[in-house]
Amino acid sequence: MKHYTKIVNEKMTLQEGEQAVEQLLLECYLQPGISTKELARKTLLPVPVAAAVKRELIKAGALAQERGVRCTPEGTAWVEEVWGYRGLDRSFHRAMREMSGWDKELSRILAKLKELFAERPAVDVRIDQSKCTPETSLRRAVLCLQQHALIGKRILCAGDDDLVSVAMGLLLQRLFPSGGHAATNIEVMDIDVRFIRYIEEVAREHDLPVTCHHVDFREPLPLALCGRYDGFFTDPPYTLQGMSLFLSRGIQALNHSKGLPVFLSFAHKSPGFMLAMQREFVRMGLTVCASFPHFNEYEGAEMIANRSQMFILRTTDQTEPEHCGAFTDALYTGEVKRTLRIYACKQCARQILVGIQEEIETIEQLKNVGCPACANDTFEMVEKRAVSGSGLGDQA
């Protein structure tokens, strides 16, 4: 069977990558008779580019121009067999793509999630866990579907005390009510064995396509888990180091394609912190496609006003992780507050003290002001010490 998207992408070498070809073909499958102008709107491509992709897919035998654009029998077979869309409840799928509120069908999934969330393990605040609401977890799953990042994909949850893997699994079951869907794989990497055991138990009981791996992101990512995923979710520790590390591990786990989605949940922060965050995105070759303030809601997380934002990032041909080896910097909020760190400028090797009792309190502040000697904004931690109430303690 022809690999239509690869054939067209190789011929056109689109800047948007193979993901754009895939989405255009999928829109023709979901909306037979769609116009070229509507295809361009749906895929965010200029009309001439969308028309050119359409023509190449017609030449390849996947599409036909017939009262609008639609899939040929061969193109339909490709979408259903290779991407796993056979048996899709199209009306429910259409409702999810256009969702503006909870409908009756989604409310049934939410009721099940509420039962499962009530039994999940208690959060461990030492590793910055917090309980998102069942509504939030399901909203993330629907967002993944709306971004064409769920059906037929291998999706990763980099840390999953929010049970997003479970929400996606339950949503898939409703999307394919007759069963038999086996094209989607959902995987979890987490350090907390309590959540791993609970997610595995729920997956077995409800026959969800979820697999778990016990992983400590401070350690290098196992090679067997690198380069295999089509997108990932993460709600990392709300420190710059935590965000950078979790994004790095997720990037290592992704296959090497442009346009892959990264769903990042993160607390609302000051303009200075946000500037440092966006520098990290640029440094890792990620683009911001969308952001949704107050998207996530948490139970009892007063420190962040019970809300956080959702970013949709996309990979580019310059995407690289910032951290590949073992991670030794302060990671969680409590660690950052309790330690004094010495960073060395990667350009001139100047050493700078960073800590709550110092002129520069945080790494994001240091990256914003730059090295006092050369103005470079990349640093490496060379030493970490515990801070006691009266001054510096022993090295941590």
- Provide φ and ψ at 101, rounded to 5°: -170, 175
- Output DSSP code: residue 223: G
What is the reported pLDDT for 303?
Answer: 53
Q: Specify the pTM.
A: 0.88
Whether the per-residue pLDDT at 104 is higher than 80: the answer is: no
Partners of 187 in the beta sheet? 156, 211
What is the reported pLDDT for 17?
Answer: 80
What is the reported pLDDT for 299?
Answer: 83
Cα 308 to chain centroid distance, Å, stands at 15
The model's pLDDT over 205-253, given as tens digits with 9 standing for 90+, comes to 999 999 999 999 999 999 999 999 999 999 999 889 999 999 999 999 9
- Provide φ and ψ at 145, rounded to 5°: -60, -45
Mean pLDDT, rounded, of the chain: 90
Whether the per-residue pLDDT at 5 is higher than 90: the answer is: no
Cα distances (Å, whole numbers) of residue 284 to 251, 260, 293: 9, 14, 23
In angstroms, rounded to a whole number, what is the distance separating the alpha carbons of residues 290 and 245?
21
The model's pLDDT over 194-208, given as tens digits with 9 standing for 90+, comes to 999 999 999 999 999
- Show the beta-strand stretches assigned E in the chain: 63-65, 69-71, 131-132, 154-158, 185-190, 210-214, 231-234, 261-266, 286-299, 307-315, 339-345, 351-354, 379-388, 391-395
278 touches 272 (CB < 8 A)? no
Cα distances (Å, whole numbers) of residue 306 to 133, 137, 298: 10, 14, 5
Please count the other Cβ atoms lying within 10 Å of the Cβ belonging to residue 362. Answer: 22
More reliable by pLDDT, 171 or 306? 171
Residue 76 identity (one-letter amino acid) = T
What is the reported pLDDT for 391?
Answer: 41
> In which band, very low, low, confident or very high, does the pLDDT at 124 lie, cut at 50, 70 and 90?
confident
Q: Indicate the angle between helix axes 36-43 and 18-30, nearest 10 degrees.
A: 130
More reliable by pLDDT, 27 or 384? 27
What is the reported pLDDT for 1?
Answer: 52
What is the reported pLDDT for 384?
Answer: 87
Rounded mean pLDDT, 51-69: 94
Domains and CATH numbers, the chain: 4-83 (1.10.10.10), 90-315 (3.40.50.150), 338-386 (2.20.28)
Tell me the two tokens of residue 99: 């969702």
What is the reported pLDDT for 322?
Answer: 93
Percent of the chain with pLDDT over 70: 94
Whether the per-residue pLDDT at 108 is higher than 60: the answer is: yes
The model's pLDDT over 294-338, given as tens digits with 9 standing for 90+, comes to 999 998 655 556 889 999 999 999 999 999 999 988 788 777 778
Region of poorest pLDDT, from 2-11, 73-82, 372-381: 2-11
Whether the per-residue pLDDT at 132 is higher than 50: the answer is: yes
